[in-house]
Amino acid sequence: MLSIISAKSVSKTFSQRVPQPGLVGALSNFIAPVTKPVHAVEQISFTIGAGEAVGYLGPNGAGKSTMIKMLTGILMPTSGEVSVLGRRPVEDRIANAREIGVVFGQRTQLWWDLPLAESFELHRRIYRVSDVAFRINRAELVEMMQLSSFIERPVRQLSLGQRMRAEIAMALMHEPKILFLDEPTIGLDVVAKDVVRKFLARTNRERGTTIILTTHDLQDIEEICPRLIMVDEGRLLFDGPLAELRVTFGARRRLTLEFDGEPGAVSLAGAELLGGEGAVREFLLADDGRSLIDLMGALTARAALRDVRLHEPGIEEVIRTHYQARG
């Protein structure tokens, strides 16, 4: 797979003022401020291939947005090297901008008092999209993102979910090779999130658009991104498939057993009984690689088994397990 994004030992450090108490301190802050370094990103390296959909995950302050801003050319790395489509983004911002789309969940690119259709037309002129390509792209994106009912309405009259769908559609209007999304579903209701997720998964699958997605909504990652990059305190913790993340950070599967009646004392070798009531018992399974068939062979209970449900740990549970283990 052709690599189109790379970060090599990238760091970004900001200077933060340290407030001094009292009137003298306030004067000192004005004349000769005391600062301390804040390491937003520290020695992070990764590559992303053409057509990948990658989730960039971490808690608040982990450096997610800072990395996106370096990849899009808004910020310059303090050290290390960033490459996007063979360019250094901060040095080739105009050329880089023509081949990427960017959506920041808390900032808008739409023109507030103009109808949505006019924002699309201005975007076409800025990116010099041909009339034919624009008509084709607009028709497809309006249909996929369900924009037709409000495309002639001023942006200020749109709901948050409508605006976000429009933002993503506009970011793809010039057919970028890469789409950067920073918290695209923040504040959206369940219906709007579902539309956005399905659209992004389809765009990645059918158009081959490379997607880099930062989010706090872990369902975004599970539905859109087969690969996950996890960071914390500016450092890289994990880079790989979601299934491998579960193994790496040790979240365990749960098994729910439902019996025909009260089963009495139930034991399952290699599993920890979590609890249950009536005819239901729930176990936490050990990470010993045994199959469900092997586990069930070791089951002891008085009542007959009616149903078995195996629950793989979700990404939220995996990450919570990691942070709890860290202390």
Ranges of each domain in the chain: 50-247, 254-311
- Mean pLDDT of the 57-82 span: 90
Residues 6+ apart with CB under 8 A from 121: none
Proportion of the chain above pLDDT 90, given as a percent: 44
Rounded average pLDDT over 265-290? 77
Q: What is the pLDDT of residue 312?
A: 67
The per-residue pLDDT for 53 is: 95
Confidence at residue 190, expressed as pLDDT on a 0 to 100 scale: 83
Pick 104 or 32 by higher pLDDT: 104
What confidence score (pLDDT) does residue 215 get?
A: 82
Rounded Cα distance, 203 and 212, in Å: 13
The answer to whether domain 50-247 has CATH 3.40.50.300 is: yes
**Residue 113: band (very low, low, confident or very high) from pLDDT cuts 50, 70, 90:** very high
**pLDDT value of position 217:** 76
pLDDT band of 324, cuts 50, 70, 90: low
Pairing of strands 235-241, 227-232: antiparallel
- C-alpha distances (whole Å) from 259 to each of 125, 262, 268, 303 are 66, 7, 14, 6
